[in-house]
Each structure stands twice: as structure tokens, then as C-alpha cells.
Amino acid sequence: MQIVCKFFEPSKPSIRLKNEYFISIYLDTRRLLKSGKYPVRLRVFTSAPRIQRLYPTPYAFTQKEFDSIWVASKPRAEHKEARMLLSALEAKAEAQAKKINPFTFEQFEKQFSRKANQATQVAYHYQKRIEELTKNGSLGTASSYEMSMKSLAQFTDLKRSGRFSRLTFKEITAEWLRDYEKHMTTEGRSLTTVSIYLRALRTLFNDAIAAKDIDPEFYPFGKRKYQVPAPKNTKKALTSSQLKALMEATPANEEQAKARDFWFFSYACNGMNIKDIALLKWKDMEDGKLTFYRAKTMQTTKGKLTPVVVYLNDFANRIIKKYSNKRGGPQDFVFPILEENQSPLVQFHKVKNFTRFIDQHIKRLAKASGITEEISVYWARHSFATTSIRKGASMELVSESLGHGNIRTTQGYFAGFDSETKREFADSLMDF
């Protein structure tokens, strides 16, 4: 825990590093403890910008004891051990600060607060990343890291005769990763799942190297080491005839009808994902179009955000009229999926449950119609991209409509041209 207080010159002795900051031991005489002593703090001070923070330590002394232990050039014999403990604390702070370039309080606090052996422990880095993602509202990504951690823990505890809580980055070699991949595929897990889990681990490796917690020589990924599987994406787009069949299919119940309506609403609204549909507010709807920022982009993009603009067709307007809340204030949600004042965690589970509802019932409707039982809400996004390109839209237009920052991402959504389109193109070659 840190304490931010008014500025004052650092007391002696102090350590100045790279003219960026001062680190010193400080007796906080602002608050007298019940023991009649004052708490000792570690003080970190930067001159540009002028910021000072105090960090707690397990030590407390009277003013006289502190002067004898720390201020005096030669402490008394009975105070030498205490002097050594404070010196060790100061040295630890210096060692951690030296790794940070440029120095930031955020990085210093992250490194200084942990135990000495945690810097190289994989479990520690997973837990910190999950905490950070959860704090920032990136609950889906946090969940992905948690599943990755649990999978690696299971493999370590059961197959490697070790404990994941003690696993260090140095122990994860290219051979270790190949054994993990073999274990996963033997258990029936796909290479896509292996890729997702190991890309999370690879990110933690890169972060640990950047923080100088581990040496780059221990990095097990890359050419002539271990390469994370990159399975070819399975195309998730329906053909025009399949889309027509699904739209005209007769739902067996109200649940299937609702699932189909929201699936096609996503399709009709530039492949809008369910979270963004749930977060739509009346302020986002004006002049026959929706203008919104993708929730995913807002969490990951550091630069200028670009809004997604959706021009509403008759079908999309009918779905809004059928399922929306009564139009209220600009900040009210359009659909009754989420409620105001719900925590990010509650909203995350609400969206997840609604997505599961659509997936379950659209699968049943599609299967009964002889289309495919693999369909999900994500297929609506791929189907929008593929249908748009097959109808003549440029890759750039589709990329902008999807809210992608990289056109290569959009290319991964395109399922290619169907046989009918290719035949029409071949026939047109001689039409001079």
C-alpha cells in the first residue's frame, strides 16, 4: 500500500539513480502508534514530475531509536542488526528500480511489492495479469488467461510431477511446450485451443523479459525452438442459399424465433457482436443509423478510436421495434439485456448468458433446417463479411464496417467466393 503526501526534501542517507528519483528510509512522525513508536516508510521521490510516495515497512521506532539506527554514521552495537535490515530494504528498492527504464511508480510498485522468488514464477505473472485485466474491465480476456493458467497447471501437476505454483519461466523449454501440445491433443483438445492458451503464456514471457525479470535467453518460442500452432481458420460464413433457408425456416418455439431474430440483427448490423448489441444506447441511434465504438476496441486500442457506423435496414428497424425497451433517455439501453448500475462482472455474465441462449437455439433451428449444427453468433459476423465481398463490396469497406484496424484481420473473415460467383465470372470473361 502506498501513501501520497506533501513534498519535502529527501532525508539522508538517500540513493539517487539516473537523476530520475530518490529512494530513502523515512520515519513517519505524522502518526504515533499505540506502541509509542512511529512507522518507518520507504520514500520514493521524483523531481520531474514532482511526485512523492511512501510505502509501508514492518518496522517502527521512536525518534531517538531511528536517529541512532539510521541517521547516526555509526549505530550502537544493539542497533546494528536493525541498521542492516533497513539497508537491505533500501538495497532491494534500488535493485528493483534499476530494472525500470524509464522509471514509473506503477512498475516500481508492481515489482517492489512482490516476494523475491515471484519474479520468475509463472503462476504469479498469470495472477497479476488476470487482476489487471479484471480491474480494467477486460473480463473476456481475463477469462481466457484464467483458462490458460488452469490448463498449464493441470499439465504441470499431473504430467510433469511438479507443482504449478512453483513453476518458473526457466523450466518452460521448447521440449516442455511440445509435451504440453501432445498432452492437449491426446486429451482431444484442438490446436486452436492450444494456440490460444500458449499465446497467453508467450505474452507473459515477453512481459517478464521487458521487465527484466528473466533473461531473453530463456525465451522458448520462435524459429528453431517452439512455434505456437497456427491452424488455418475454419470459415464460419453461410452461403446465400443457407442464409435464405435459415431466414425462412419455421421456428419450433419462441426461443428459436428470438434467437434467429438477434442472429440476423447482428448480421444486418455489420456483423455486430452481442456485447455491442447489449451495450447499445438510444444516444447511439440517430437519423436511421447506429454509431458506436466496439467495446473490444475501446479496451485494446490506445490510439484514436474510430466509430462503427451502421445504416439500419427495414429488418433491423423491425427487430428494434419488436424487442427494445420503451424509448427513454439517451443513456438508456436499447435492448433489455443489461441494466444500469450493474457491475462489469454482472454485465459480463449477462452478455455471456444471452450469447449462449442465441447459440443454443440457432443451432437447433439450423440443424432442423438441414443447414449446419455448428452455427453460432460469430457466424453472423463472418457471413456479413463474406456476403458483402461476394456482392461487390471492397475489402476496405468491409474492414471499416467491421471496425477492424487491420485489413488482414478482415481477410481472415472472408470465406472465399462460391462456385456460382466463379462461374459467372468465367462466363463474363468474353463479354468485351
pLDDT tens for 269-313 read 988 999 999 999 999 999 999 998 888 776 665 556 788 889 999
For residue 4, the 8-state DSSP code is: E
Model confidence at 8, pLDDT cuts 50, 70, 90, reads very low
Q: State how far the Cα of 195 lies from the Cα of 191, in Å rounded to an integer.
A: 6
pLDDT for 407 equals 65
Model confidence at 425, pLDDT cuts 50, 70, 90, reads low
- Report the DSSP pairing between strands 289-292 and 308-311: antiparallel
Query: Rounded to two decimals, what is the model's pTM?
Result: 0.65
pLDDT for 430 equals 43
| Mean model confidence pLDDT for the chain | 85
Query: Could you count the other beta carbons within 10 Å of the beta carbon of residue 264?
Result: 19
For 225-277, write each residue's pLDDT tens digit: 999 998 766 668 888 889 999 999 999 999 999 999 999 999 999 889 999 99
Query: Could you count the other beta carbons within 10 Å of the beta carbon of residue 250?
Result: 9
Instruction: Assess contact for 362 and 263: CB atoms under 8 A.
Output: yes
For 155-177, write each residue's pLDDT tens digit: 998 776 668 888 999 999 999 99
Tell me the average pLDDT across 47-71.
Answer: 90
pLDDT for 15 equals 45
Model confidence at 10, pLDDT cuts 50, 70, 90, reads very low
Instruction: Assess contact for 137 and 279: CB atoms under 8 A.
Output: no
Instruction: Assess contact for 266 and 381: CB atoms under 8 A.
Output: yes
* Candidate from 65-79, 156-170, 241-255, 387-401 with smallest mean pLDDT: 387-401
pLDDT for 12 equals 46
Distances (CA, A) of 248 to 79, 91, 145, 243, 324: 86, 73, 40, 9, 23
For 118-131, write each residue's pLDDT tens digit: 888 999 999 999 99
Q: What is the CATH number of domain 240-425?
A: 1.10.443.10
Q: Delimit the domains of the chain by residue range.
A: 3-113, 118-218, 240-425
Burial zone of 85 (CB within 10 Å; 0-12 exposed, 13-18 middle, 19+ buried): middle
